[in-house]
Structures are given as structure tokens and as C-alpha cells.
Structure 1
Amino acid sequence: AKLKGVQARETWALPARDQAKMAGHISVIIAKGVHGQKSSAKSERGVDQIWSNAEAALTAEIGEAQKAKAKEIQEAAAAKVAARADRKGWW
């Protein structure tokens, strides 16, 4: 859900630290717009960087969780095979 939120550019999906950084960048962009100044390229790049870092971090986290789950499944299957091999017969 968080990854979908980040991809949809919803701030609730960001960690609090990134939300604070985002607010700072947005306030600079808004202030410059209100005063009729040229938009801050640095702030715009900062906003884009926050989104891309959040997406990369969540993608990596999901990948690691999937690897851990696959490892658990593989270990359970190996334990089941070993238990069957320990039996002397079918009955």
C-alpha cells in the first residue's frame, strides 16, 4: 500500500523525515510563486529526489521481504522432505 501511495505521490506514504523535507521544498516553491519569482529548480529537484528515494527504498524492502518468505517456504519444504525420509515405510 505504501509503494502504491508513493507512486501516486501521496505524502502519507512517506516517512516523517521525508514529509518534513517535502514541506520545506514545497514552501520554497510556493513562496517564490507568490512573490512572482522564478521557480526554485533546487527545490523541484529535491521533491523529485524524495519521491524517487522513497520508491527505491520501498521496492528494496518489498524485495527483501519476498526473499525471506521464499527462504522460509524452502526451509519448511526441506524439513518436510527430511521428515518423510526418516520414516522407514509408508505405514
Structure 2
Amino acid sequence: MAKPNTRQFDRIIETAGNKLAGVRNRELWALPAGDQAKVAGYVGLAVAKATRLKSSPTAERGIERIWKNAEAALVAEIAAAEKGKAEVIAQAAAAKVAKKSSGWW
């Protein structure tokens, strides 16, 4: 029996893991394009407020919310990919057992 093909899941897990590391380091490339635009808008708002010597807690909260949501989404994506990989491995093992138990040898 051949080894189960889990390359697709491995690739998804690796890519999401790299993005998760980027999100945790607050690197903008790791965010989806829409979230990058939102962060840029919030940064612009914070800079505009700072030039007028005012604080911008709305912008800070918005940026922090984007980072937390991105991290949660990537953690969920990794968990789902690992679950799918485990299912493929379990199905391959069940098929191997069924094949061994059905024949003479």
C-alpha cells in the first residue's frame, strides 16, 4: 500500500504557518489585501491625529483588532488543514487494514 498523499495539506500548513509567524511579528505582507488597506487607513488616521497632537484610540483599537482576527483565522486554517491531513492518514490506514483482512495473505 502506498503512503497517503498529504502534500497538499503539508503545503497549506506550511504557508499558513509562515503567514502566522508574519502576523505575530506584525509584518504587513502576511495580511490579506483588504486588511492591508484597512491598516493603511488606520495608520493614516493616526498620523493625521498625531499631527494635531491628539491621540487616536480608535485607530489603535482597529489595527489591533485586524491583527487579532488575522491570527485567529490563520490558527483556524492550520487546525482545519491538520484535521484534514489526519483524516486522509486514517482513511489510508483503514484501507490498508481492510485489504490485509480480506485476503489470504
Fold match, TM over 0.5?
yes
**Counterparts of residues 60-79 of structure 1 (less than 5 Å):** 60-79=76-95
Q: How many residues align?
A: 88
Taking the aligned partners of 2:22 and 2:55, their CA distance within structure 1 comes to 26
- Residue equivalent to 1:18: 35
Q: Which has the higher contact order (CA 8 A, sep 6+)?
A: 2
1:13-53 residue CA offsets vs partner (Å, 9 max, x unmatched): 000000000000000101111222x2111111000000000
Using structure 2 for the length normalisation, give the TM-score.
0.81
- Residue equivalent to 1:29: 46
Extract unaligned runs of 5+ from structure 2: 1-17
Runs of 4+ in 1 over 6 A off after TM superposition: none
Question: Percent identity, aligned pairs only?
Answer: 55
- Residue equivalent to 1:45: 61
Letter in 2 for 1:64: A
Letter in 1 for 2:48: A
| Root mean square deviation of aligned Cα | 0.7
Taking the aligned partners of 2:94 and 2:68, their CA distance within structure 1 comes to 39
- Residue equivalent to 2:21: 4
**SS of aligned partner of 1:9:** coil
Larger radius of gyration: 1
